[in-house]
Structure 1
Amino acid sequence: MSAPDPLRDELRELADVVVPADMYERSLQRSRKIGRREAAIGTTAAVVALALLGSGLWRLPSRGPDQEPPVAVAPVGPSATASLAPSVAPTTTRASGNQPDTPSRPDRPRPPRATTTPKSTALGDLPGQIFYADADDNGRVVRLTGAGNPSTVLSASNSTAGVSPDGSRIAYVTSGSLMVVDTGADDPQQVYAGTSSAEQAPAWSPDGSRLLIEASETGVLDVATGELTPLPQGLEGQHFRWSGDGSTLVYATSDCGLEVAAGTTAQSGTPVPDQTGTAGQAACRPVSVDATGDLVAVQLDKDAASEKRETPADAILDTVTGDIVDLPVTGTIIGAVFDPDGNLLVRSKKGSKTRLWLFAPDFTLLVQAKEPSELKGLDLLAYTR
């Protein structure tokens, strides 16, 4: 008989107290617990998501002013250069004469820097009527239409004359009296006595019912009634001109400057920025104003502007910036006038030839035509509808 083994006896006693276990059943129960837990988490997440959708909190926050914008992808191909071009910020133009920076005029088309191709070179395509004054023949007035053949429409002796906006009447001063006559007629009517023309040629209102004249003082004359209404004391100047829409007056000051006023009832005018950038030149006399008062045809030559008789304009001035407009015209400008709608007629001379240039308000060149030789020696007076 063998001796007893204590280790084996202990193992046998331990086996008697161990409870058999089903490992498969235990694993299955654990899997069911995990499944129930995940289902509960999924349900909770769904509820939270629905709540966010309902409250609007799901939206991404918008980019604040201090946040960097999103990075754009650079385009590739022929359009890449244009797409990458930087935007142009508003610019300022400094008027001459040490003036402060003045905003440029992005709201109004600017004339091109080079001569453009006209829509027509035929004088017959030039609409309206052009009037000339003969200073050497006591103020004779000649009219030119697109049909050519200039004709005399006023032969009465006069010191100065003004043509109505529709070209149907001429106001002129003779022997201190203001006369009005139908174009080409021989029966003038005196509408005011005691008129001076040294500082104010008769200037028609856009509707043709009134005249700016110089009497004992500058005033507005009702042509039908003969009633004269003096301008307010604050409007102290000379050579007053209406804009084409009647909203603005442009006039010269005694110290060879320009001012702009809001109509004939304004108590004062606003000085135009200094335009005396060239030695010996200043806009001492306005001749014609565009439709809104933004542009004015002026005589820059001080000597010519100081003459008693009306002298043609030789430049176009921007009344907001004080800049001289660079017109695409060849030769020397010897006349410039606006019609009431803002169309600009320019007369130029190069050598022995004179040309007429008609620009639309946006500076589109409508007509560039040779001027009839019979008009040489006359001064450009007016351009009407």
Structure 2
Amino acid sequence: MKHRVLAGVLLGAALVLPTTAASAEAVPKPLTGTAVYGGYVNGYQISQHDPAKGWKTLGASKSAAQFAASPDGRKVAWVTIGGKLQVRENGRLRTVATGLQGGTPCLTPVWSADSTRLAYAKDETVTIVKADGGGATRAGATKGVCHLAWSADGRYIAGYTGEANGVYRLDVKTGKAVKAKGIKLATHVQSLSPDGRNAVVEFPANPDTLGDGSWPTAFKPVVVDLVTGRKLPVAVKGTLIGALYLPDGRLVVRVQGPAHHTLVVLDRAGKEVQRVEEDAKAKTLGLLQVVG
């Protein structure tokens, strides 16, 4: 069933150079395995798992399903049934916007890469607001208002349409949105590359069954160049059930396993650089963020 958004809605030793601060920073630190997950556990629940500290609930609701976890793994934002955009951090809850369309699962807000701002859609208008509720600004208009994703450079916000018949990329600098090439149907936008060029999306397995727009606990990720429409290869074997970009450009691919899933980390060139085993309790949950 189609879901609609309501209107109004080995270098040799001789080649090794001295290490500088800049060059050291250019090599990302390995992931610790800390990640944020979402799923239904006596209502919709967002939890962080730190291998050194265990599980921690960041936010929960028995009714609202429009959640977003911040990249730093500390905050959760959601839209209430009554249309309030709320942020929870360290046990404190604040309302940062009102008048949104509640009860529509696909209309999820999205955090900026530095976890200080939120973007959300109302009708076809995307607004950016600080996590404390201040400084609201209009980013532009777009038909791609579902499962918003925000590039780490801050310039692009992308999402799929309420009819699931395409993905649009909004240029925050110009306020204009363009329909992405190579995508006829999409039921999820998980992530954008840091420059906003590529997106991790889900193509529906059955064009006649598009779901209700809820955030998937698992999906077959496809990486698409939004400008050319070219599908980019993901060189990871196994059953892929998710993927997302980190702000530094690494791609984290989630691979299904019998007892637990595995996170496979690819560098910017698509080469595998790390594998991290997820906790077994995350097996039935959706991956929202991988905390660097």
When the two structures are superposed, what TM-score results if normalisation uses the length of structure 1?
Answer: 0.58
Matched residue type, 1:187: R
Q: Are residues 1:293 and 2:196 paired? A: yes
Are the structure 2 counterparts of residues 329 and 148 from structure 1 closer, same or farther at C-alpha, using a change threshold of 3 Å?
Answer: farther
Q: What whole-Å deviation, never above 9, does each CA across 1:213-243 have from its counterpart, x for those lacking one? A: 133553213233445444434x232223211
Residue 3 of structure 1 corresponds to none
Q: Are residues 1:193 and 2:98 paired? A: yes
Shift of 1:317: 1.9
Are the structure 2 counterparts of residues 368 and 345 from structure 1 closer, same or farther at C-alpha, using a change threshold of 3 Å?
Answer: same
Residue 319 of structure 1 corresponds to 226
Tell me which of 139, 142, 152 is aligned to 1:244.
152
Equivalent-residue separation in structure 1 for 2:210 and 2:93 (angstroms): 29
Structure with more of its chain in helix, by fraction: 1
Residue 3 of structure 2 corresponds to none
Q: What whole-Å deviation, never above 9, does each CA across 1:179-236 have from its counterpart, x for those lacking one? A: 1111xx3221111223225242110123433322133553213233445444434x23
Shift of 1:331: 2.1
Shift of 1:287: 1.6
Shift of 1:128: 6.6
Matches of residues 145-294 of structure 1 in structure 2 within 5 Å? 145-147=50-52, 149-157=54-62, 158-176=64-82, 177-182=84-89, 185-196=90-101, 198=104, 199-223=106-130, 224-226=132-134, 228-233=136-141, 235-239=142-146, 240-253=148-161, 254=163, 256-263=165-172, 265-269=174-178, 271-275=179-183, 282-294=185-197
CA-atom RMSD in angstroms: 2.8
Shift of 1:259: 2.8
Shift of 1:275: 4.0
Residue 357 of structure 1 corresponds to 264
Equivalent-residue separation in structure 2 for 1:356 and 1:268 (angstroms): 32
Shift of 1:146: 4.6
Tell me the percent identity.
Answer: 24
Q: What whole-Å deviation, never above 9, does each CA across 1:309-359 have from its counterpart, x for those lacking one? A: 212552122223323332222322112122222222211114454211122
Tell me which of 215, 221, 236 is aligned to 1:329.
236
Q: Is the 8 A contact 2:86 2:93 kept in 1?
A: yes
Are the structure 2 counterparts of residues 377 and 328 from structure 1 closer, same or farther at C-alpha, using a change threshold of 3 Å?
Answer: same
Q: What whole-Å deviation, never above 9, does each CA across 1:127-156 have from its counterpart, x for those lacking one? A: 373110013432211212353733322234
Equivalent-residue separation in structure 2 for 1:186 and 1:353 (angstroms): 30
Shift of 1:291: 0.4
Q: Work out which of the two has the higher radius of gyration on C-alpha atoms and give 1 or 2.
A: 1
Q: Is the 8 A contact 2:219 2:241 kept in 1?
A: yes
Structure 2: 5+ residue runs without aligned partners? 1-28
When the two structures are superposed, what TM-score results if normalisation uses the length of structure 2?
Answer: 0.75
Q: Is the 8 A contact 2:182 2:224 kept in 1?
A: no
Matches of residues 94-113 of structure 1 in structure 2 within 5 Å? none
Are the structure 2 counterparts of residues 179 and 128 from structure 1 closer, same or farther at C-alpha, using a change threshold of 3 Å?
Answer: farther
Equivalent-residue separation in structure 1 for 2:38 and 2:158 (angstroms): 22
